Amino acid sequence: MGLYHCEGIILRTRGFGEADRIVTLFTKEKGKIEAVARGARRPRNRLVGVTQQFSYLKALIFTGKSLDQISQAELIKSFAPLRDDLLKMAYATWWAEILDVFLPLNEVNSEVFLFLLAGLVVLEKVPDPMLVSRAFELRLLKYLGYEPVLDRCVSCQKAEGPFVGFAPTEGGLFCRSCAGAAGVNLIPVRPAALSFLRDLYQADLRELARRPVDPALGNELGQLLFTFIQLRAEKTLKSLSFLQSLMAWTPPEADLN
Protein backbone atom coordinates (compact mmCIF):
# COMPACT_ATOMS: atom_id res chain seq x y z
CA MET A 1 0.00 0.00 0.00
CA GLY A 2 1.21 3.47 -0.79
CA LEU A 3 0.60 6.72 -2.55
CA TYR A 4 2.24 8.24 -5.57
CA HIS A 5 1.89 11.35 -7.71
CA CYS A 6 1.82 11.19 -11.46
CA GLU A 7 0.65 13.06 -14.51
CA GLY A 8 -1.00 11.24 -17.34
CA ILE A 9 -3.38 11.14 -20.27
CA ILE A 10 -6.47 8.95 -20.17
CA LEU A 11 -6.36 6.48 -23.05
CA ARG A 12 -9.54 4.65 -22.23
CA THR A 13 -12.31 4.51 -19.66
CA ARG A 14 -14.81 1.84 -18.83
CA GLY A 15 -17.61 1.48 -16.35
CA PHE A 16 -16.99 -0.56 -13.24
CA GLY A 17 -19.56 -1.63 -10.70
CA GLU A 18 -22.50 0.73 -10.27
CA ALA A 19 -20.84 4.10 -10.21
CA ASP A 20 -17.12 3.65 -10.66
CA ARG A 21 -14.94 4.10 -13.68
CA ILE A 22 -11.71 2.31 -14.53
CA VAL A 23 -9.30 4.47 -16.45
CA THR A 24 -6.30 3.39 -18.47
CA LEU A 25 -3.87 6.16 -17.85
CA PHE A 26 -0.63 6.69 -19.74
CA THR A 27 1.60 8.41 -17.22
CA LYS A 28 4.95 10.09 -17.55
CA GLU A 29 6.30 8.53 -14.37
CA LYS A 30 4.92 4.97 -14.41
CA GLY A 31 4.01 4.22 -18.00
CA LYS A 32 0.58 2.79 -18.67
CA ILE A 33 -1.45 2.06 -15.55
CA GLU A 34 -5.03 1.19 -14.70
CA ALA A 35 -6.79 2.81 -11.81
CA VAL A 36 -10.29 3.00 -10.51
CA ALA A 37 -12.02 6.35 -10.04
CA ARG A 38 -14.57 5.70 -7.31
CA GLY A 39 -17.95 7.27 -7.96
CA ALA A 40 -16.80 8.85 -11.23
CA ARG A 41 -20.07 7.96 -12.97
CA ARG A 42 -22.17 9.84 -10.44
CA PRO A 43 -23.06 13.28 -11.83
CA ARG A 44 -21.89 15.30 -8.84
CA ASN A 45 -18.74 13.36 -8.14
CA ARG A 46 -15.54 15.44 -8.18
CA LEU A 47 -13.83 12.92 -10.49
CA VAL A 48 -16.49 13.01 -13.25
CA GLY A 49 -15.00 15.80 -15.34
CA VAL A 50 -11.37 14.91 -14.70
CA THR A 51 -11.62 11.29 -15.74
CA GLN A 52 -12.92 11.61 -19.30
CA GLN A 53 -11.10 10.09 -22.22
CA PHE A 54 -8.07 12.15 -23.36
CA SER A 55 -8.02 14.26 -20.19
CA TYR A 56 -4.52 15.25 -19.19
CA LEU A 57 -4.38 15.26 -15.42
CA LYS A 58 -2.28 15.29 -12.34
CA ALA A 59 -3.25 12.57 -9.94
CA LEU A 60 -2.51 11.16 -6.56
CA ILE A 61 -2.85 7.40 -6.75
CA PHE A 62 -3.37 5.03 -3.93
CA THR A 63 -1.95 1.59 -4.60
CA GLY A 64 -4.41 -1.12 -3.70
CA LYS A 65 -4.09 -4.88 -3.49
CA SER A 66 -5.87 -5.56 -6.76
CA LEU A 67 -6.59 -2.16 -8.27
CA ASP A 68 -4.93 1.19 -7.87
CA GLN A 69 -7.30 3.98 -6.98
CA ILE A 70 -7.34 7.65 -7.93
CA SER A 71 -7.36 9.49 -4.65
CA GLN A 72 -7.17 13.05 -6.00
CA ALA A 73 -7.04 14.41 -9.50
CA GLU A 74 -6.61 17.82 -11.05
CA LEU A 75 -7.12 18.63 -14.69
CA ILE A 76 -4.11 20.04 -16.56
CA LYS A 77 -5.81 20.09 -19.97
CA SER A 78 -9.20 18.63 -20.84
CA PHE A 79 -8.71 18.21 -24.63
CA ALA A 80 -12.48 18.77 -24.83
CA PRO A 81 -12.35 19.75 -28.56
CA LEU A 82 -11.26 16.17 -29.29
CA ARG A 83 -14.45 14.83 -27.74
CA ASP A 84 -16.68 17.43 -29.43
CA ASP A 85 -15.59 16.67 -33.00
CA LEU A 86 -16.52 13.21 -34.24
CA LEU A 87 -13.63 12.86 -36.68
CA LYS A 88 -11.02 14.13 -34.22
CA MET A 89 -12.44 11.88 -31.56
CA ALA A 90 -12.08 8.96 -33.95
CA TYR A 91 -8.44 9.83 -34.62
CA ALA A 92 -7.61 10.35 -30.95
CA THR A 93 -9.33 7.07 -30.06
CA TRP A 94 -7.31 5.33 -32.76
CA TRP A 95 -4.03 6.72 -31.37
CA ALA A 96 -5.09 5.76 -27.86
CA GLU A 97 -5.94 2.23 -28.95
CA ILE A 98 -2.55 1.76 -30.62
CA LEU A 99 -0.88 2.78 -27.36
CA ASP A 100 -3.23 0.68 -25.30
CA VAL A 101 -2.52 -2.40 -27.41
CA PHE A 102 1.24 -2.02 -27.81
CA LEU A 103 2.34 -0.57 -24.49
CA PRO A 104 2.83 -3.05 -21.67
CA LEU A 105 1.54 -2.02 -18.23
CA ASN A 106 3.95 -0.26 -15.88
CA GLU A 107 6.74 0.29 -18.37
CA VAL A 108 8.04 3.85 -18.19
CA ASN A 109 8.26 5.52 -21.57
CA SER A 110 8.37 9.28 -21.11
CA GLU A 111 9.47 9.89 -24.71
CA VAL A 112 6.28 8.31 -26.05
CA PHE A 113 4.26 10.12 -23.39
CA LEU A 114 5.58 13.50 -24.52
CA PHE A 115 5.03 12.56 -28.14
CA LEU A 116 1.39 11.69 -27.46
CA LEU A 117 0.90 14.94 -25.59
CA ALA A 118 2.41 16.94 -28.47
CA GLY A 119 0.30 14.95 -30.95
CA LEU A 120 -2.97 15.66 -29.12
CA VAL A 121 -2.16 19.37 -28.96
CA VAL A 122 -1.71 19.41 -32.75
CA LEU A 123 -4.76 17.21 -33.35
CA GLU A 124 -6.93 19.61 -31.38
CA LYS A 125 -6.15 22.44 -33.83
CA VAL A 126 -5.49 20.85 -37.23
CA PRO A 127 -8.34 21.31 -39.76
CA ASP A 128 -7.80 17.91 -41.41
CA PRO A 129 -5.87 15.37 -39.29
CA MET A 130 -5.15 12.91 -42.11
CA LEU A 131 -1.45 13.53 -42.75
CA VAL A 132 -0.70 14.42 -39.15
CA SER A 133 -2.14 11.07 -38.21
CA ARG A 134 0.00 9.23 -40.77
CA ALA A 135 3.10 10.87 -39.27
CA PHE A 136 1.90 10.06 -35.78
CA GLU A 137 1.24 6.41 -36.65
CA LEU A 138 4.63 5.98 -38.29
CA ARG A 139 6.56 7.66 -35.48
CA LEU A 140 4.65 5.71 -32.88
CA LEU A 141 5.64 2.48 -34.64
CA LYS A 142 9.25 3.59 -34.45
CA TYR A 143 9.03 4.48 -30.75
CA LEU A 144 7.34 1.17 -29.98
CA GLY A 145 9.99 -0.85 -31.81
CA TYR A 146 7.99 -1.75 -34.91
CA GLU A 147 9.62 0.65 -37.34
CA PRO A 148 8.79 -0.38 -40.91
CA VAL A 149 11.81 -0.75 -43.21
CA LEU A 150 11.46 2.01 -45.81
CA ASP A 151 15.03 2.60 -46.99
CA ARG A 152 15.93 -0.78 -48.48
CA CYS A 153 14.53 -4.11 -49.58
CA VAL A 154 13.71 -6.04 -46.42
CA SER A 155 14.73 -9.28 -48.12
CA CYS A 156 18.05 -8.58 -49.96
CA GLN A 157 18.86 -5.35 -48.03
CA LYS A 158 19.66 -3.45 -51.23
CA ALA A 159 18.75 0.23 -51.15
CA GLU A 160 18.61 0.90 -54.91
CA GLY A 161 15.17 -0.46 -55.74
CA PRO A 162 13.05 -0.20 -57.73
CA PHE A 163 10.65 -1.20 -54.98
CA VAL A 164 7.40 -2.79 -56.00
CA GLY A 165 5.59 -2.55 -52.71
CA PHE A 166 5.44 -2.96 -48.97
CA ALA A 167 5.00 -6.38 -47.40
CA PRO A 168 3.11 -5.97 -44.11
CA THR A 169 4.02 -9.48 -42.96
CA GLU A 170 7.73 -8.77 -43.46
CA GLY A 171 7.55 -5.20 -42.22
CA GLY A 172 9.26 -3.57 -45.15
CA LEU A 173 9.74 -2.86 -48.83
CA PHE A 174 10.40 -5.47 -51.47
CA CYS A 175 12.46 -4.94 -54.61
CA ARG A 176 11.29 -6.39 -57.91
CA SER A 177 13.50 -9.47 -57.94
CA CYS A 178 12.83 -10.46 -54.32
CA ALA A 179 9.09 -9.88 -54.67
CA GLY A 180 8.89 -12.30 -57.57
CA ALA A 181 10.86 -14.98 -55.72
CA ALA A 182 9.17 -14.66 -52.33
CA GLY A 183 5.55 -14.46 -53.48
CA VAL A 184 4.54 -12.28 -50.53
CA ASN A 185 1.45 -10.09 -50.47
CA LEU A 186 2.46 -6.56 -51.30
CA ILE A 187 0.76 -3.21 -50.91
CA PRO A 188 1.77 -1.11 -53.91
CA VAL A 189 3.44 2.17 -53.00
CA ARG A 190 4.35 4.89 -55.50
CA PRO A 191 7.89 6.37 -55.32
CA ALA A 192 6.42 9.79 -54.46
CA ALA A 193 4.39 8.31 -51.60
CA LEU A 194 7.44 6.43 -50.38
CA SER A 195 9.63 9.50 -50.26
CA PHE A 196 6.87 11.42 -48.47
CA LEU A 197 6.56 8.57 -45.98
CA ARG A 198 10.31 8.58 -45.27
CA ASP A 199 10.17 12.34 -44.65
CA LEU A 200 7.43 11.82 -42.07
CA TYR A 201 9.99 10.34 -39.67
CA GLN A 202 11.52 13.80 -39.29
CA ALA A 203 8.45 15.94 -39.88
CA ASP A 204 7.42 18.38 -37.20
CA LEU A 205 3.73 17.67 -36.50
CA ARG A 206 2.93 21.39 -36.13
CA GLU A 207 4.54 22.19 -39.46
CA LEU A 208 2.81 19.24 -41.11
CA ALA A 209 -0.55 20.44 -39.77
CA ARG A 210 -0.15 23.63 -41.82
CA ARG A 211 0.46 21.82 -45.11
CA PRO A 212 -2.43 21.15 -47.50
CA VAL A 213 -3.75 17.62 -47.25
CA ASP A 214 -3.63 15.39 -50.31
CA PRO A 215 -6.41 12.87 -49.59
CA ALA A 216 -5.15 10.38 -52.20
CA LEU A 217 -1.71 10.35 -50.60
CA GLY A 218 -3.17 10.11 -47.12
CA ASN A 219 -5.28 7.13 -48.16
CA GLU A 220 -2.37 5.40 -49.87
CA LEU A 221 -0.17 5.72 -46.79
CA GLY A 222 -3.13 4.82 -44.62
CA GLN A 223 -3.64 1.54 -46.41
CA LEU A 224 -0.02 0.63 -45.75
CA LEU A 225 0.15 1.76 -42.13
CA PHE A 226 -3.30 0.50 -41.13
CA THR A 227 -2.60 -2.97 -42.53
CA PHE A 228 0.79 -3.10 -40.85
CA ILE A 229 -0.46 -1.90 -37.46
CA GLN A 230 -3.49 -4.19 -37.57
CA LEU A 231 -1.26 -7.15 -38.36
CA ARG A 232 1.22 -6.35 -35.58
CA ALA A 233 -1.59 -5.81 -33.06
CA GLU A 234 -2.76 -9.42 -33.47
CA LYS A 235 -6.28 -8.40 -32.48
CA THR A 236 -9.06 -6.45 -34.12
CA LEU A 237 -8.62 -2.75 -33.57
CA LYS A 238 -12.16 -1.47 -33.18
CA SER A 239 -11.24 2.18 -33.42
CA LEU A 240 -9.67 1.58 -36.83
CA SER A 241 -12.83 0.27 -38.47
CA PHE A 242 -14.74 3.17 -36.94
CA LEU A 243 -12.20 5.68 -38.25
CA GLN A 244 -12.22 4.08 -41.69
CA SER A 245 -16.00 4.10 -41.94
CA LEU A 246 -16.00 7.74 -40.91
CA MET A 247 -13.35 8.62 -43.48
CA ALA A 248 -15.29 6.84 -46.20
CA TRP A 249 -18.42 8.68 -45.19
CA THR A 250 -16.93 12.20 -44.96
CA PRO A 251 -18.31 14.32 -47.83
CA PRO A 252 -15.68 15.27 -50.46
CA GLU A 253 -15.82 19.03 -49.67
CA ALA A 254 -14.39 18.31 -46.24
CA ASP A 255 -11.21 16.99 -47.85
CA LEU A 256 -10.37 20.23 -49.63
CA ASN A 257 -8.64 22.00 -46.79
Contacts to Zn ion by CB under 5 A: 153, 155-156, 175, 178
Nearer to Zn ion, 86 or 156 (CB): 156
Distance of closest approach, residue 178 Cβ to Zn ion, in angstroms = 3
**Rg for the chain (alpha carbons), in Å?**
20
Closer Cβ to Zn ion, 173 or 205, answer by number:
173
Which residues, in sequence order, are CB contacts of 146 under 8 Å at separation 6+?
102, 171, 228, 232
Nearest residue (CB) to Zn ion, 160 versus 253? 160
Q: Is 4 exposed, middle or buried (0-12, 13-18, 19+ CB in 10 A)?
A: middle
Tell me the sheet residues that pair with 61. Answer: 4, 70
Which C-beta is closer to Zn ion: that of 92 or that of 175? 175
Q: How far is the CB of 19 from Zn ion (least distance, A)?
A: 58
The alpha-helical segments, DSSP class H, found in the chain are 80-84, 86-102, 110-125, 130-143, 176-182, 191-200, 205-210, 215-233, 238-249
Amino acid in position 93: T
We find the least distance from the C-beta atom of residue 199 to Zn ion, in angstroms, to be 23
Question: How near is the Cβ of 175 to Zn ion at its closest, in Å?
Answer: 3
CB of 160 to Zn ion, least distance (A): 9
Task: Identify the sign of the CA torsion 8, 63, 1, 73.
Answer: positive
Nearer to Zn ion, 170 or 220 (CB): 170
